[in-house]
A and B are shown apart, each in its own frame.
Chain A
Amino acid sequence: MKSKQAYKIIDEGWVKKRTGYRVRFQQQVDAEMITDYFPDMDDGPWLSEVAIWRMAWRLAESRQSDPPDINAGDLINVTVVDHEDNPVKYYVTNQSEVFNQVSIKA
């Protein structure tokens, strides 16, 4: 096997290089729960995992209501996703982390 092939296998199978991060959250708008992202999909994602988790925490801490109540505008189920919308483990705990977690009835 040539080194080029070996590195191709490593790149495809080992640690995936992410191309950016976004905060994914849910919000009540006109009595309807919508899923949105920060930064907006029209803008580029953030490249810093540390900064995006800090932003997610700040957004979650800005919640006005106490659980389980949800005020219009409150951001719930706040987490960080990668460029493929897959949840990213919180680097501090290496566990999945969702701030302001609220189960939404379908």
Chain B
Amino acid sequence: MEGFSAKIAQIESTMSLYGREVVIACAIVVLGLILIKWINQGLKKAFRKLPISSAKGATVRNVIVVLMSAALLSFVAIHMGLEPRPVVRLLAILTLASIGILMVFRPLIPSLPFVVGNTVKAGDLLGKVEATTVLNTRLRTFDGTTVFVPNRIILNDVIVNYHFTPTRKIYLKINILYDQDLMKAKQIIETIMVEDPRVNPTPRPVVHVMSLNKGYVELSGRGWTDNLKRFVVTRELLEKTKHRFDQEGIILALPQMQVHYTSKNMPQSYMEG
């Protein structure tokens, strides 16, 4: 009990000596943090107008916020009566130590396989990464839904990042009847791909006959295009192919199956009917 009273008395004497400085320092910290938050929001708005990516803008803002926070803490420490030189030294040591630890342990820290602005497929979700935090990733799907995906799920799941490789293969799957002009059909598909500005000239577009045993001739036109344009390019090339086939009189085939019944394998119900 005596020890407790002694501690209370010690706190009282400390507060009477430094209480005013502590209160002022706390007020400076609170006001400084509010000011830093305002500046951060202002920078965020300003960076949106600049031609830099949101990821780079966020990095620059984070660096500025850390530097301003360090300056604030130094100012408060000096205001509390500490010598400026040791404070600067301590901050420099802490900064260097942080950078060193980051450099050593960075490869061991699990990182997300995308950055803000990437278009990714995570599980059944396809969308654009709007933000990442320590706990979750904010994904905006193409129908406008905002989804918060926990990072632990992302780190354990298969992720497709459509920004990782700039180009991707397109497949134009078209089926024609057996009696149609196969060479003309191949020529049309190849021409449509070659003349489109979005289909890369190399590797050159090609058309393959994929199979003949499905009740039709299965054709597949293949070329390469920008990863992000692939969806639209494929649909538009299919539309142009349909029109060109109509002009040339080439008839598309529907998936079909021929079933042959003989009296031996005819179902009983048919026999009775």
Contact = CB atoms under 8 A, between A and B. Distances in A.
A92 B245 CA distance: 10
B197 A18 contact: yes
A48 B232 contact: yes
A18, A20, A49 interface centre (most CB from chain B within 10 Å): A49
Contacts of B239: 50
Chain A interface mostly helix, strand, loop or mixed? loop
A94 B197 contact: no
Nearest to B246: A92
A17 B201 contact: yes
B196 A49 contact: yes
Contact of A20 (B191, B197, B244): B197
A19 interface: yes
List 10 A-B pairs, minimum CB-CB distance, nearest first. A50-B236, A15-B194, A47-B197, A15-B195, A94-B247, A92-B243, A91-B240, A47-B198, A15-B191, A19-B197
B187 to A, nearest CB: 10
A17 B244 contact: no
14 contacts: A15-B194, A17-B195, A17-B201, A47-B197, A47-B198, A47-B229, A49-B236, A49-B240, A50-B236, A50-B240, A91-B243, A93-B243, A93-B247, A94-B244
B198 A48 contact: yes
B193 to A, nearest CB: 9
Contacts of B232: 48
Among A11, A18, A91, A93, max chain B CB count under 10 A is at: A91
Interface string B211-241: 0000000000000000001001000100110
Contacts of B198: 47-48
Interface of A: 7, 11, 14-20, 47-51, 91-94
Interface of B: 191, 194-198, 201, 204, 229, 232, 236, 239-240, 243-244, 247
A91 B195 CA distance: 12
B243 A18 contact: no
A104 to B, nearest CB: 30
A11 B195 CA distance: 10
A38 to B, nearest CB: 17
B141 to A, nearest CB: 23
A15 B191 CA distance: 7
Contacts of A47: 197-198, 229
Nearest to A92: B243
Contacts of B229: 47
Contacts of A7: 204
Nearest to B201: A17
Contacts of B197: 17-20, 47
Nearest to B197: A47
